[in-house]
């Protein structure tokens, strides 16, 4: 009887220990935006639920003259982990063999997956989310825009 009680007590302790240390999946909706003298990002959304995570880059607005006649461009949303960029969303556009370039779209795109980032990285993402736009115009002139983004909680809970 004593062995059975000891075994049950050990199983109960193990069950409590694993349930207390198991990582809980964050759920919620977060928004991000920012601006500087050159560009603004607005309407960005991060949505997390039990089944998937979604990152929508929002809209890009140029504060001054809008870029046109773009030969190639790379748009990246990223955060820093141990000093290294961790890309969340990146897309590149290139036009070759044409005489006119493209305009940069104001829609920054989105990505959805079961796991885009780990719960352990969430604090890093919230505090170091950045946007970059780099590229070259048809005349060979290069451009670079970098902006840190402010992430705020729209609705959040843990389950």
Among the listed residues 133, 137, 132, 134, the one whose alpha carbon sits nearest the alpha carbon of residue 71: 137
109 inside domain: yes
Q: How many domains does the chain have?
A: 1
pTM of the entire predicted model: 0.77
Tokens 């639920």 belong to residue: 49
Residue range(s) defining the domain that contains residue 75: 25-153
What is the three-class DSSP state of 125?
Answer: helix
- Categorize the per-residue pLDDT at 155 as very low, low, confident or very high, splitting at 50, 70 and 90: low
Q: What is the CATH number of the domain that holds 32?
A: 2.60.40
10 within domain boundaries: no
Annotate 7-31 with DSSP letters as a single string. Answer: HHHHHHHHHHHHHHHSPPPEEEEEE
**Could you report the per-residue pLDDT of 38-59, keeping only the tens digit for each?**
999 999 999 888 888 899 999 9
Give pLDDT, residue 33: 96
What is each CA distance from 138 to 99, 101, 107, 134, 157, in whole angstroms? 8, 6, 22, 14, 48
């Amino acid at each position: 009887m004593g062995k059975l009680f000891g075994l049950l007590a050990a199983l109960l302790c193990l069950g409590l220990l694993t349930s207390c240390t198991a990582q809980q999946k964050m759920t919620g909706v977060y928004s991000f935006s920012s601006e500087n003298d050159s560009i603004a990002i607005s309407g960005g959304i991060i949505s997390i639920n039990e089944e998937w995570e979604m990152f929508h880059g929002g809209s890009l607005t140029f504060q001054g003259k809008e870029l046109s006649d773009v030969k190639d461009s790379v748009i990246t949303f990223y955060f820093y982990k141990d000093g290294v960029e961790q890309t969340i969303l990146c897309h590149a556009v290139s036009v070759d063999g044409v005489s006119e370039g493209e305009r940069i779209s104001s829609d920054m795109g989105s990505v959805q997956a079961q796991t885009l980032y780990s719960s352990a990285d969430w604090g890093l993402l919230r505090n170091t989310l950045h946007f970059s736009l780099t590229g070259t115009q048809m005349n060979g002139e290069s451009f670079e825009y970098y902006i840190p983004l402010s992430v705020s909680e729209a609705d959040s809970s843990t389950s």
